[in-house]
Amino acid sequence: MTCATCGTPHNPDKCNGHAKSTGKQCTAWPIKGGRVCIKHGGKAGQVRAAAEKRIQEAEAVKAVVTFGLSREVDPRDALLEEVHRTAGAVAWLHEQVQALRTEDVVWGVTEEVTKDAGEFPGVDTTRAAKVNVWVELWQRERLHLVKVCKEAIGSGLEERRVRLAEQQGAMLAGVIKAILGDLDLTPEQQTTAARVVPFRLRSVASGAAA
C-alpha cells in the first residue's frame, strides 16, 4: 500500500512516522505492540495503551491456537468458555477421585498370572504403584485450568470475570452430580455417568460456538 504522505509503500515492521530530514518513512523500530517509535508519538499515553491492548489481543489469539479452541468467537470469549468448561470437568473429576478408596488412588493391578503347577497353585496378582486414571485425568485438567486462567488474565480479561467463569463451571458439575444422585442409578449407570459427564461438560461451550 502506497503511503498518501510520502508516496512510497511503508515497511510494516518499522515506525509509521516520517523522518523530518527526508520526508520518507522513519527507520526506527516502533514501540512493542505499537506502530510508531518514541519520537513519533510512541510515548503518548493513548498510543501506549493501544499498543498494550494489541499485545494482549495477540496473547489471547495465541492462547486460543495453543489450546485448540474455536476461532469463530472472540478469542477472549473462547478463553472464558474454556475456563468455564475446564472448571466443570475439574470439579467433576475431583468428585470421582474423592470417591476412590485410598489404595485405588496409587495402586492398580498390573499383572495376573494363573499358576496351576508348583507348590502353591492359584493366581498371582501383581499390584504396582500406578496412578489411577481418574487421578491422572483430574491432575491433567487442573493443570490445564491453571494455564487457561493465566492466559485469560494475561490477555486483558479481568481476574474477577475469570474467577466467576471458574465458579460457574464448578457449580454446573455440582448440579449434575446432584441430579445423578436423585436418579438412583445402578452401579453400571454410575460408571457410565462418570465417564460421560466430563466429556459432555467439555463439549458444552464448543457445541454452543459451532
Query: Which residues bind to Zn ion, rule: CB under 5 A?
Result: 3, 5-6, 15, 17, 25-26, 28, 37, 40
Q: In the complex, what is the shortest distance from the CB of residue 137 to Zn ion, in angstroms, rounded to a whole number?
A: 52
Q: How far is 131 from 136, CA to CA, in rounded Å? A: 6
Q: What are residue 153's phi and psi, to 5 degrees?
A: -70, -40
What are the grid coordinates assigned to 111, written together?
A: 499383572
Q: How far is 179 from 35, CA to CA, in rounded Å? A: 54
Q: In the complex, what is the shortest distance from the CB of residue 151 to Zn ion, in angstroms, rounded to a whole number?
A: 32
- In order, the DSSP letters of 82-95 are HHHHHHHHHHHHHH
Q: In the complex, what is the shortest distance from the CB of residue 32 to Zn ion, in angstroms, rounded to a whole number?
A: 14
Cell 474454556 belongs to 82
Cβ pair 30, 41 in contact under 8 A: no
Measured from the CB atom, is 46 or 186 closer to Zn ion?
Answer: 46
Q: How far is 195 from 35, CA to CA, in rounded Å? A: 50
Measured from the CB atom, is 15 or 173 closer to Zn ion?
Answer: 15
Q: In the complex, what is the shortest distance from the CB of residue 146 to Zn ion, in angstroms, rounded to a whole number?
A: 40
What are the grid coordinates assigned to 169, written together?
A: 463451571
Q: What are residue 128's phi and psi, to 5 degrees?
A: -120, 155
Q: In the complex, what is the shortest distance from the CB of residue 93 to Zn ion, in angstroms, rounded to a whole number?
A: 53
Measured from the CB atom, is 3 or 143 closer to Zn ion?
Answer: 3
Measured from the CB atom, is 6 or 106 closer to Zn ion?
Answer: 6
Cβ pair 91, 166 in contact under 8 A: no
Q: How far is 177 from 134, CA to CA, in rounded Å? A: 16
Measured from the CB atom, is 19 or 194 closer to Zn ion?
Answer: 19
Measured from the CB atom, is 42 or 169 closer to Zn ion?
Answer: 42
Q: In the complex, what is the shortest distance from the CB of residue 35 to Zn ion, in angstroms, rounded to a whole number?
A: 10
